[in-house]
Amino acid sequence: MSKSTLFGATFLISLVASTPSHSDLFLDTPLQPAYQATLNQQPQLAWQELTLALSQHELDDHLWLPVKQEVLHQTDCGSALSGGSANNLRLSFVKRFGTTAKGYQVRISTENSPSAMDVTLFTPDGSPLVSGQFGAGQSYQEFESIELLQKPRSGVFNLVIDEQTIGLVIAIEDQSQWLVFNQQRAIPTVELNLPQTLPGCPSVSASWQWFDSDYRMLGHKVAFQQNPQPIPANSPYQTQAKHLSASVERVEFQHGVRIEYIQRIAIPYQ
């Protein structure tokens, strides 16, 4: 059985498991049109129905995540979804772990944007979460939300770009921790519990990031695959590096927007 066929079968199993009985799949529920369109291999229609249902009803993630994942699978990780376009925009949902606390932050960024644009991201309840004005032709720009103590509610986030509004279906993973800092070994390590990579999507990846004393990132991320992974004894940035973090990133695409779900843990360094 191919990976694609296997994922489709997994979708059916997940769909049945998310409802009280098999017959409930075709009852008149808010998600029924999305279920049916997905089973009929009509991903564009399924996405429209899913977005409509989530815009009108507050529904538990487990009821609609199988539909979302199958639509992403049928549309090359969402890159084939039509309806609005926001090329060069990147939306990151970051869950941070420290030694004593955790928090969330949302970031909108762009690189080499061909034109200036005003951007605002609204939560499912209509509250502005992060906004900014990007200039044209700059190498990299970003705007971040304040530090959030609670996970943003899942649902349809509206991304407004100038006069254009794009609905993004977002669910932030909070049931499992993708990486853990283990200080019990002779050499401290990071242990990975990577989430599933959806067919057609970039592989889930883990990496190190070094920062200076003002928490400005130094250079590029350094990927690692070993599990458990020993904490680096030295930094390629020598005296500049004052802080270190490890992160796991899962990526999908919606209407030209690259969406990143990131879990990041601070590592004691120096």
Domain, as residue range, for 257: 179-267
Q: How far is CA 17 from CA 11, 38, 66, 133, in A?
A: 10, 16, 10, 44
| Number of domains the chain contains | 2
Q: Which tens digit of pLDDT belongs to each residue from 98-152?
A: 766 789 999 999 988 888 999 999 999 999 999 999 999 888 899 999 999 999 9
Domain end residue (candidates: 74, 100, 131): 74
Is 122:157 a contact under the CB 8 Å cutoff? Answer: yes
Q: What pLDDT score does 1 carry? A: 43
15: in domain:
no
163: in domain:
no
40: in domain:
yes
Residue 62 belongs to what H/E stretch? helix 61-74
Q: What pLDDT score does 85 carry? A: 67
Q: What pLDDT score does 121 carry? A: 98
Give residue 13's pLDDT band: very low, low, confident or very high (50, 70, 90): very low
87: in domain:
no
122 CB-near residues (< 8 Å, 6+ apart): 128, 129, 157, 158, 159, 160
Q: What pLDDT score does 269 carry? A: 76
246: in domain:
yes
Q: How far is CA 226 from CA 41, 49, 205, 219, 223, in A?
A: 38, 41, 11, 22, 10
Tell me the average pLDDT across 44-73.
94
Give residue 268's pLDDT band: very low, low, confident or very high (50, 70, 90): confident
Residue 223 has pLDDT above 60, yes or no: yes
Residue 72 has pLDDT above 60, yes or no: yes
Q: What pLDDT score does 23 carry? A: 43
Q: What pLDDT score does 185 carry? A: 79
Q: What pLDDT score does 132 carry? A: 95
pLDDT greater at residue 251 or residue 198: 251
144: in domain:
no
Residue with tokens 């928490």: 215
For the chain, give the mean pLDDT: 87
Q: What pLDDT score does 114 carry? A: 85
Q: Which tens digit of pLDDT belongs to each residue from 195-215?
A: 999 889 999 999 999 999 888
What is the Rg, in whole angstroms, of the alpha carbon atoms belonging to the chain?
20
Residue 9 has pLDDT above 50, yes or no: no
Percent of the chain's residues with pLDDT above 90: 64
22: in domain:
no
* Alpha-carbon gap, residue 250 to 270, rounded angstroms: 29
88: in domain:
no
Domain end residue (candidates: 52, 74, 96): 74
Residue 21 has pLDDT above 70, yes or no: no
Give residue 83's pLDDT band: very low, low, confident or very high (50, 70, 90): low
> Listing from the earlier edge strand, what are the strands of the sheet with 257-267?
141-144, 102-110, 89-97, 257-267, 243-254, 205-211, 217-224
Domain end residue (candidates: 42, 74, 106): 74
